[in-house]
């Protein structure tokens, strides 16, 4: 059952726990949207430039993984990590070709493993970490709070796309 309250989660600092509550709520709603989809639905492409639900789910996992690396380890992806996550991160033609033929369990496992790592890391941070600042290569400042807000924002955005694809599937 989805909890519709934002509250501090046990074993986390107060603000970090609230962030975790929001991340978990966003994920629970996403999971409720996709849990009963089959492989044909996960691979469905409306046209030659659209994304499948499966590729969007892999993208959600990849965005979270990248933000783990940036915020928890203060680095960019390695070449090996980019080989693993780059296609899902960028989507497009290559994703349409290679992110397919997976069951819902594959995507659920991918999302779960990445989230498990996120929660493990977040347990070790104090609230002040959320406000620590860094700069992108172009000199624009950001903080860790923004990075994790973006993880939620990205998932919610793509969940909207998933809902649209599901409506299209109903009209086939």
The tens place of each residue's pLDDT in the chain, 172 residues long, gives 777 888 999 999 999 999 999 999 999 999 999 989 999 999 999 999 999 999 999 999 999 999 999 999 999 999 999 999 999 999 999 999 999 999 999 999 999 999 999 999 999 999 999 999 999 889 999 999 999 999 999 999 999 999 999 999 885 5
Give pTM, 2 decimals.
0.94
Q: Which of 166, 145, 162, 136 is nearest to 23 (CA)?
A: 145
Domain boundaries, the chain: 14-170
The reported pLDDT for the residue numbered 171 is 58
Question: How far is the C-alpha of 130 from the C-alpha of 133, rounded, in Å?
Answer: 8
**Which helix (H) or strand (E) segment is 142 a member of?**
strand 141-143
Paired tokens of 69: 């690396």
The reported pLDDT for the residue numbered 5 is 86
CA distances from 101 to 52, 62, 64, 132 (A): 11, 18, 22, 41
Q: Are 125 and 49 in contact (CB under 8 A)?
A: no
The reported pLDDT for the residue numbered 172 is 53
The reported pLDDT for the residue numbered 1 is 75
**What is the number of helices (H) and of strands (E) in the chain?**
7, 2
Tally of CA atoms within 13 A in the half-sphere of 105 that contains its CB = 0
Paired tokens of 129: 């970490």
CATH number (1.20.120.450, 1.20.1600.10, 3.40.50.10140, 3.90.1490.10) of 14-170 reads: 1.20.120.450
């Amino acid at each position: 059952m989805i909890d519709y309250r934002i509250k501090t989660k046990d074993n986390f600092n107060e603000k970090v726990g609230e962030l975790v509550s929001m991340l978990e709520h966003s994920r629970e709603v996403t999971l409720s949207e996709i849990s009963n989809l089959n492989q044909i639905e996960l691979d469905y492409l409306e046209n030659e430039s659209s994304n499948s639900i499966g590729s969007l789910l892999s993208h959600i996992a990849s965005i979270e993984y990248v933000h783990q690396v940036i915020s928890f380890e203060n680095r960019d992806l390695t070449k090996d990590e980019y080989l693993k996550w780059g296609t899902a991160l960028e989507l497009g033609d290559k994703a349409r070709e290679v992110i397919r033929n997976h069951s819902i369990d594959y995507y659920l496992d991918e999302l779960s493993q990445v989230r498990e790592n996120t929660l493990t890391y977040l347990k070790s941070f104090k609230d002040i970490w959320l406000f620590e600042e860094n700069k992108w290569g172009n000199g624009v400042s950001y903080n860790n709070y923004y990075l994790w807000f973006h993880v939620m924002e990205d998932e919610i955005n793509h969940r909207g796309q998933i809902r649209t694809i599901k409506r299209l599937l109903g009209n086939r």
